[in-house]
Amino acid sequence: MIVDGTLGGGGHSEALLAAGADVLAVDRDPSALAAARARVSGFGSRFRAVQGDFGDLASLVDAPVDGVLLDLGVSSPQLDDPARGFSFQADGPFDMRMGDEGPTAADLVETTPVDALERVIRDYGEERFAGRIARALKEAKPKTTLEAVEAVKRAVPRKAWPEKVHVATRTFQALRMAVNHELDSLDRALAALPQVLKVGGVAAVLSFHSLEDRAVKRAFRGLEGRCTCPPGLPVCACGAEATFRSLTRKAVTASEVEVARNPRARSAHLRAVERVR
């Protein structure tokens, strides 16, 4: 059994099923679940999909499994649908929820104090104009994606706009991560790996953000038994003990050919570990 913790469009699940695996798929998005069930209907009972947060991996898995796959971030169907509010290229409600519950991005902007909103944009988006953008968003109180984009544009000096990415990219990424508590879900899922994986089982994570990749790298190092104590500590106090081994010496990135075919793969980083005892 393989757990596809981020079902999305169902492409990974379909490939795993075609290779002979049984798949338990998880997604917050009911529309993604419905579309994926239709896509892989020919595989019958070998595919099971549940609505949920992959951060709850420990409670979603009944028995140890052979593998866990997490493809982080927003899925292409969500990004391409203006009604979901993820895209800064087309107008739609300023929503950004991966599921159908909880506050929207518009709610987050309206209810979050400006200094806290600045931290969200700075920390999750690594945006150097976070303070100006936070103030502009609080003033604008956007209800649509293009209203939010215009607020960002007003806040960032024109000469400082990035050449290769949209000026609102980092802000939208940060707000999406905050709305969906993505780093918290990732941390909880990584912490659950010793509980949910069989010996010989593999966990693979595809991340698209430096904060996510660092979290995966740090967690995998802990599973590999590498000391995580602060530098200069005379004696190891963390009790690191290897139960996993790394299958990727460093993060695997997309080739130029793959990026040309799928530009969204340009920031992808793949890391994998195997449980050894």
State the CATH number of the domain containing residue 112.
1.10.150.170
127, 147, 179 - which closes a domain: 179
Residue 87 lies in a domain: no
Length of the chain: 277
Cα-flanking dihedrals φ and ψ of residue 167, to 5°?
A: -60, -25
Q: What is the CATH number of the domain that holds 199?
A: 3.40.50.150
**How far is 150 from 148, CA to CA, in rounded Å?**
5
pLDDT digits (tens, 9 = 90+) for 37-85: 999 999 999 999 999 999 999 999 999 999 999 999 888 888 889 999 9
**How far is 151 from 134, CA to CA, in rounded Å?**
9
Residues 169 and 212 in one domain: no
Residue 190 lies in a domain: yes
By the 8 A CB rule, do 153 and 105 touch?
no
Looking at residue 49, the DSSP 8-state letter turns out to be E
Residues 233 and 194 in one domain: yes
Query: Domain total for the chain?
Result: 2
Residues 24 and 35 in one domain: yes
Residue 136 lies in a domain: yes
Residues 129 and 110 in one domain: yes
The angle, 0 to 180 degrees and rounded to 10, between the axes of the packed helices 130-140 and 145-155 is: 130
Question: Residue 79 has which token pair?
Answer: 């990004």
144, 179, 214 - which closes a domain: 179
Residue 91 lies in a domain: no
Q: Which of 246, 180, 240, 184 is nearest to 211 (CA)?
A: 184
Q: Where are the beta strands (DSSP E) in 93-243?
A: 197-207
Question: How much of the chain, in percent, has pLDDT values that exceed 70?
Answer: 98
Question: Under DSSP, is residue 53 helix (H, G, I), strand (E, B) or coil?
Answer: coil
Residue 17 lies in a domain: yes
Residues 7 and 143 in one domain: no
Residues 160 and 117 in one domain: yes
179, 214, 249 - which closes a domain: 179
Question: Residue 231 has which token pair?
Answer: 């530098």
Q: State the pairing for strand pair 23-27/2-4.
A: parallel
Residue 83 lies in a domain: no
Q: Is the pLDDT of residue 147 over 90?
A: yes
pTM beyond cutoff 0.85: yes
pLDDT digits (tens, 9 = 90+) for 93-121: 999 999 888 999 999 999 999 999 999 99
First to last CA, the chain: 18
Q: What angle (nearest 5°) sits at the alpha carbon of residue 88, between those of residues 101 and 129?
A: 100
Looking at residue 25, the DSSP 8-state letter turns out to be E
What does the CA dihedral 141, 146, 152, 157 come to, rounded to 10 degrees? -140
**How far is 21 from 67, CA to CA, in rounded Å?**
10
Residues 172 and 196 in one domain: no
Residue 257 lies in a domain: yes
Domain limits for position 140:
100-179
**How far is 104 from 96, CA to CA, in rounded Å?**
6
Residues 66 and 195 in one domain: yes
Give 225's pLDDT tier (boundaries 50, 70, 90): confident
Residues 136 and 167 in one domain: yes
Task: Give the Cβ contact number of residue 151 at 10 Å.
Answer: 23
